[in-house]
Structure 1
């Protein structure tokens, strides 16, 4: 697989469907909300962190249930972050059929886009990825960039 092109898009009002309610989903939802996305999280169990966030954030809705085949309609992006590979695969296949960009958190081969580390200060936004391979290195680089942005901005 080749390198991914870094593309910045306006997320304001974009409809993002997240399947899974754990740590990975919570981290990604928080970032998406910072950029103005409208996010729906669907999972049988949803973390306390996401529940608290939903109480404060009108752009976040929670549905306590499992993914249902054929349910993807009127969404701009999908994140599959369930703990079940079979469910993530079904979500991936539905997104492929409907030409909806998808990120499957557990399988980099099933990602139309990667979720970067984000460093933001004022009007400057930097996205960092290690091509889905070395998350620790990408996190370390992101943290250093955040420090640098705080110094400069």
Structure 2
């Protein structure tokens, strides 16, 4: 497997299935800005709420190839192994496909993930043990607490300033490494001091 972070903004993602498992796939995709279509004869209350709020489109019907033939991403989350397999057979090699009932059948799987602002923690065991992946994710969340949210916002802003400064490439690289030091995570005073120091090197 090749790990990657995808920009899903306005990408068509078709989820086949309307139960709790399908809902769990919908939530992070909504946060990522995907254009979500759900195809299922029945939907759970949580999906119905999202539909009522016009956050997703729902098609109350049995799935057909035309429902997902133009999708960027397809997630088959029905309770029928046969339907899930048929969906996979109808997809093209250029589509991202996740078959919930058989991780080996699709071409990607969804890791155990958590978000702390700009920090995204994802853990995969290659399908060997989703339970262990979740345990490792939770252990990492204990290590990377809420303080990282503000720290990463600072790193985002200061990185743009460094790249737009008059400093040499070597100096820029050294500064970016220095910013990973613990003192910048723990001290807002250190961050402000650094930002003030940076002002004289910025390009007008």
- How does the TM-score come out when normalised to structure 2? 0.68
1:6 corresponds to 2:3: yes
Q: How much is the aligned-residue C-alpha RMSD, in angstroms? A: 1.6
1:149 aligned onto 2:144: yes
2:106 corresponds to 1:111: yes
Report the CA distance between 1:16 and its aligned residue: 0.2
The within-5 A match list for 1:1-153 is: 4-56=1-53, 58-96=54-92, 99-153=94-148
Select the structure that is richer in strand: 1
Preserved CA contact (<8 Å) 2:65 2:87: yes
Could you say which structure has the larger radius of gyration? 2
SS in 2 for 1:150: coil
Higher helix fraction (1 or 2): 2
**Cα deviation digits, residues 90-127 of structure 1 (max 9, x gap):** 1001113x632211000112121111111111111122
CA distance in 1, matches of 2:45, 2:142: 29
Is the 1:44–1:65 Cα contact (8 Å) retained in structure 2?
yes
| Structure 2: unaligned runs, 5 residues or longer | 149-204
* TM-score in terms of structure 1 length: 0.88
Q: Give the number of aligned pairs.
A: 148
